[in-house]
Amino acid sequence: MIYCGIDWAEKTHDVALVDDTGQLVAKRHITDDASGYKILLDLLAEHGDSEENPIPVAIETPRGLLVAVLRIGTRKIFAINPMAAARYRDRHAVSRKKSDPGDALVLANILRTDMHAHRPLPDDSDLARAIAVLARAQQDATWNRQQIANQLRSLLREFYPAALDAVATWANGLCRPEARELLKSAPTPAKAARLTRDQIQAALRRAGRKRGIEAEADRLRDIFRGDYAHQPPLVEDALGKQMLALVVQLEAACTAADDLAKAVEETFPQHPDTEVLLSFPGLGVQLGARVLAEIGDDHTRFADARSLKAYAGSSPITRASGKKSSITRRWIKNDRLNHAGYLWAFSAITASPGAKAHYRRRRDDHGDWHAAAQRNLFNRMLGQLYYCLQEHELFDEQTAFPTGLAAAA
């Protein structure tokens, strides 16, 4: 049997093929373009690669055009963690030498000796992979929006506290279009104090507000004309220009997050697993898409529910040595799925009586802190989700959290 290892780079890649004995049978340096991919496929075919007996490939990335080309057909692609590859490299060279052709050889030998210990890339459908792209991009845009909003808030605290007081009662605060429109109309406290009631109402209407404009304008006008400390005029004007630059970035981030959210809403309902995911309490379209993006729709990817829980970081991990033993939460996990699980459990507490009772039982009877109780709830619901996806059954509150057994206990 032949094994292939590829050390990828931005413009070129090194390829190594080894046999069962670890003997190097071929190596090649290819470019990152269509001609380079053709050379690679021809090299694999020359050494016996076929649809019935494909050559497994090890590479240090799960994405990119090269991986997309290799995934065509039944070939198994193994995305090896670079840290794990570095540990394997130390097995063969105590001098710690490193080269790109040598790394390709190491990757090929990883499959030759330990292919059973590594998981190939899941065989997800194109629709699931498209949802994953949109859901992750929307999640990144949301995080980027919050990061810019935090920068803007920090800047406003230095010279413009009236703006923070004005948006304090609004949901989403500085991310609301009314807040951005007001800051563009009055970038400094001095200009805000000179705003008339009609100008404030016009700004609120430009932001799309329809109700309570008069009362809100009066409230904002009183705040802007309140007694606050001021920076020197020149410094205040400079800070105002910096603030406007951040507002432009925030507006772009808000637009990107909203557009990607609409794209997720259009694509996610097309997937056959959507009905099962949305039947769970606490899972909406955006959060359900994030969960699907990370677990995929290859139902053979995880051997059992325990594997999925470990992948999500919801199950505890035991560390034991001699007489010492400790049970702690997992640090190595899928961070995106773990973050989605935290939001899922938080929403399920109010959406499901059984989930709320389970959370309270972990807090009161077991003494868990809030985060630990939520993680335990996420762990339980993730196991239920695994079963429902395997059997394509909808969530049932009575089956998931039987009230009779809870009362008897």
Rounded mean pLDDT, 296-321: 91
Per-residue pLDDT for 93 more than 80?
Answer: no
pLDDT level of residue 318 (50, 70, 90 thresholds)? confident
Q: What angle do CA 88, 90, 91 make, to 5 degrees?
A: 70
Per-residue pLDDT reduced to its tens digit, 231-268? 999 999 999 999 999 999 999 999 999 999 999 999 99
Per-residue pLDDT for 406 more than 90?
Answer: no
Strands 57-59 and 3-8: parallel
- d(Cα 207, Cα 152) in Å, to the nearest integer? 19
Q: What is the largest CA-CA distance in the chain?
A: 83
CB 271 within 8 A of CB 135: no
Per-residue pLDDT reduced to its tens digit, 179-220? 999 999 999 999 999 999 999 999 999 999 999 999 999 999
Per-residue tokens: 329: 């939460």
The predicted pLDDT at position 409 comes to 52
Per-residue tokens: 21: 């004995």
**Residue 287 to residues 138, 161, 281, 291, 343, Cα–Cα distance (Å):** 11, 34, 11, 6, 8
The topology under which CATH files domain 3-117 is: Nucleotidyltransferase; domain 5 (3.30.420)
Report the 3 state secondary structure along 207-230.
Answer: CCCCCCHHHHHHHHHHHHCCCCCC
The predicted pLDDT at position 126 comes to 93
Q: Where are the domains of the chain?
A: 3-117, 130-266, 275-408
Q: What angle do CA 208, 267, 71 make, to 5 degrees?
A: 140
Q: Residue 154, Cβ neighbours under 10 Å: how many? A: 10
Per-residue pLDDT reduced to its tens digit, 99-154? 889 899 999 999 999 999 898 999 999 999 999 999 999 999 999 999 999 999 99
Which SS3 state, helix, strand or coil, does residue 249 take?
helix
